[in-house]
Amino acid sequence: MWSLVALFNIWKMVSGSIVFLLSRCCPPDVVVFPHCVEEVSALTKVCHQHRLPIIPFGTGTGLEGGVSAVEGGVCFSLRNMDQILDLHQEDFDVTVEPGVTRKALNAYLRDTGLWFPVDPGADASLCGMAATSASGTNAVRYGTMRENVVNLEVVLSDGTIIHTAGKGRRPRKTSAGYNLTNLFVGSEGTLGIITKTTLRLYGIPEAMVSAVCSFPSVQDAVDSTVQILQAGVPIARIEFLDDVMIDACNRFSCLSYPVTPTLFLEFHGSEQSLKEQVNTTEDITQSNRGSDFQWAQDAETRNRLWKARHDAWYAALALRPGCKAYATDVCVPLSQLPQIIVETKEDLIENRLTGPIAGHVGDGNFHCLMVVDPTDPEELHQVHLFTERLARRALAMGGTCTGEHGVGLGKRALLCEELGSMAIQVMQGLKDTLDPHNMMNPGKILQPREL
Distance of CA 365 to the CA centre of its chain: 11
User: DSSP label at 449?
Assistant: P
Q: What is the mean pLDDT of residues 111-129?
A: 93
**Residue 188 scores a pLDDT above 50:** yes
| Confidence label for 262 from pLDDT (cuts 50, 70 and 90) | very high
Q: What is the CATH architecture of 84-203?
A: 2-Layer Sandwich (3.30)
Mean pLDDT of the chain: 87
Task: Please return the burial class of 420, using the count of CB atoms within 10 Å of its CB with bins 0-12, 13-18 and 19+.
Answer: exposed
**Residue 173 scores a pLDDT above 80:** no
Distance of CA 51 to the CA centre of its chain: 30
Q: State the helix-helix crossing angle for 218-230 and 337-350, rounded to 10 degrees.
A: 160
| Phi–psi pair at 189, nearest 5 degrees | 75, 15
| Confidence label for 419 from pLDDT (cuts 50, 70 and 90) | confident
What H or E segment, with its residue span, contains residue 243? helix 243-253
**Residue 32 scores a pLDDT above 60:** yes
| Confidence label for 413 from pLDDT (cuts 50, 70 and 90) | low
| Confidence label for 6 from pLDDT (cuts 50, 70 and 90) | very low
**Share above pLDDT 70 across residues of the chain, in percent, rounded to a whole number:** 88
| Pairing, β 54-57 against β 74-77 | parallel
**Residue 411 scores a pLDDT above 80:** no
The reported pLDDT for the residue numbered 99 is 96
Residue 417 vs residue 411, higher pLDDT: 417
| Phi–psi pair at 281, nearest 5 degrees | -65, -40
Q: Which of 215, 269, 275, 208 is nearest to 242 (CA)?
A: 215
The reported pLDDT for the residue numbered 363 is 84
Q: What is the mean pLDDT of residues 181-186?
A: 94
**Residue 286 scores a pLDDT above 90:** yes
The reported pLDDT for the residue numbered 71 is 84
* 448: three-class secondary structure by DSSP: coil
The reported pLDDT for the residue numbered 415 is 67
Among 70-79, 129-138, 393-402, whose mean pLDDT is lowest? 393-402
Question: How far apart, in whole angstroms, are the C-alpha atoms of residue 8 and residue 131?
Answer: 24
77-88 pLDDT, tens per residue?
999 999 999 999
Domain ranges of the chain: 2-77, 84-203, 205-405
| Confidence label for 194 from pLDDT (cuts 50, 70 and 90) | very high
Angle (CA) 255 261 264, round 5°: 60
354-367 pLDDT, tens per residue?
999 998 888 888 99
Contact at 8 Å (CB) between 406 and 186? Answer: yes
The CATH class that applies to domain 2-77 reads alpha beta
The CATH number corresponding to 205-405 among 3.40.50.800, 3.40.50.300, 1.20.1280.50, 3.40.462.10 equals 3.40.462.10
